[in-house]
Chain A
């Protein structure tokens, strides 16, 4: 017994070194410079790809924050969609976008607490199954609601974000990705990190050690869903049209988890890096593989788990100790 004070200090000390922060800072600087580059005729197209890469980054990183507590969510599409629909419906009531955005995210977060309160007392398998089913059901409900409420199967028109200024939209997405990254870093360096890691590595043990596991898992789910909903708002504002089939598509649950695993689970840079690589690959491959593009995601997911369980980040830090960083 009697943990030496020095050891406890070591456990508390943030183990993100400058080494990890530098590439992250470089990424954000490059991303910030991107819309101001002289891109010529392709500029608008590239800016759009950039925008959706940032949205994919928010989705992947927010999925990862939840995964750190050992929960596999297959419902990221649901919260993305709830964000998009919540935003659209709030705008219809006449709210300004800057208020509608956080409120929509908050709404999705509250829903996640309700779903989580029921599913998170049981083993992780139940959670994964329930989240997959939850996505399908939210879509069914929105499709079956009367058309004047949420547009039914035909979908809804959404006013363009920032009046359609694509550079502004890009910068807003970058700001929200920066917010997501800060949350991720805060979780990584703070108390939550130890709670999440303990729960992931052995929930029973964590509970015995005095970690109130359900509360921490709910916190992870809330943060994750809140951020995913923000990504949904960005999507709705950019495409100014949302429909149940597109918004709640399983693809929107698949992409973040694949991206995060491919990039490097439980890291901040990994999911962002993964999103950049996979989104660019998607644009490049889109003309080759038209139908069933998700085949690539399925393949990347399987191969990553079998042969690259630490993702792209694992390639860079092969020598360093501690697979679970």
Chain B
């Protein structure tokens, strides 16, 4: 029974990071209408920035987190300006392949400059753990989950309670209509894409503490984020949260209860994509 509860707890904690990555992706898909295949690379960028700040300047990742988030917001906004903006009206194929190309570029640039090794960030609280009854939680995991909840709270507050958030949702619903009532659509796109990248970077900082920073670390998270937004429905911002929890929990369950589960849990996200698509295509056909 304890094993079961511990498994559920681990899955829940893991889902915090998934939700961060996926909500950023959902923002890009929902508001800007771009499936950003380079999303994982912005996560990787955040992870490496946190690692660099820690390794060279001795700044704790939790302190560098806001700076990293703002810096990657800037990178995202710049990316929007120089590339994404020019394909907004182009065929879907061009849009997807542009971000895919960007992802390949960033990933391999990192590989070229930094090599394929993984870099870990060491923190004083790394080995700490929290005990509740029979259950134990790793300190960094708990901190990461808490931060994810705070950042997601701020995101959803912005989306549903502020003018900017209302503008974003208006643009997401109807680009032309939003333009007609005087919403600066281009600016909203820029901010939404920047925030989307910033969210990935926050997740990246947490990943650098929990796991490591490496050129390919982004791809895994991006794939899982894709699974989550597919399950939630492309561009659906609220569905992302529960879909993240479902992915986190199912992965934890597979890891604990399936023999040799470590390898197979990496395939869970695909079952989710496939299952969702099967259900959805049948519902559509009916």
Contacts and interface: CB of A to CB of B under 8 A. Distances in A.
Interface of A: 67, 70, 72, 74, 118-119, 121-126, 128-130, 132-134, 136-137, 140-141, 143-144, 200, 250, 254, 257-258, 261, 289, 291-295, 297-302, 305-306, 309
B274 interface: yes
A103 to B, nearest CB: 26
Interface string B258-286: 00100110110110011001101100110
A305 B270 contact: no
B273 A133 contact: yes
Given A67-B93, A132-B223, A261-B97, A302 B83 contact: yes
B124 to A, nearest CB: 33
A292 B108 contact: yes
A302 B93 contact: no
Contacts of B269: 133
Contacts, number: 138
B267 A302 contact: no
A261 B107 CA distance: 20
A134 B285 CA distance: 23
A258 B101 contact: yes
Interface string B190-214: 0000000000000000000000000
**Chain A, interface SS category:** helix
B109 A292 contact: yes
B273 A72 contact: no
A118 B281 CA distance: 7
B111 to A, nearest CB: 4
Nearest to B262: A144
Nearest to B99: A302
B277 A294 contact: no
Interface residues of B, number: 51
Contact of B101 (A140, A291, A302): A302
Contact of B263 (A136, A144, A293, A300): A144
Interface string B98-115: 101111111111111001
Majority-rule SS of B interface residues: helix
B227 A133 contact: yes
A66 to B, nearest CB: 11
A297 B270 CA distance: 27
Most buried by A among B91, B102, B104, B227: B104
7 contacts: A132-B226, A257-B100, A289-B112, A295-B104, A301-B105, A302-B105, A306-B86
A258 B101 CA distance: 8
B226 A305 contact: no
B277 A119 contact: yes
A250 B94 CA distance: 19
Contacts of A118: 274, 277-278, 281
A247 to B, nearest CB: 17
Contact of A121 (B35, B86, B285): B285
A293 B270 contact: no
A137 B104 contact: no
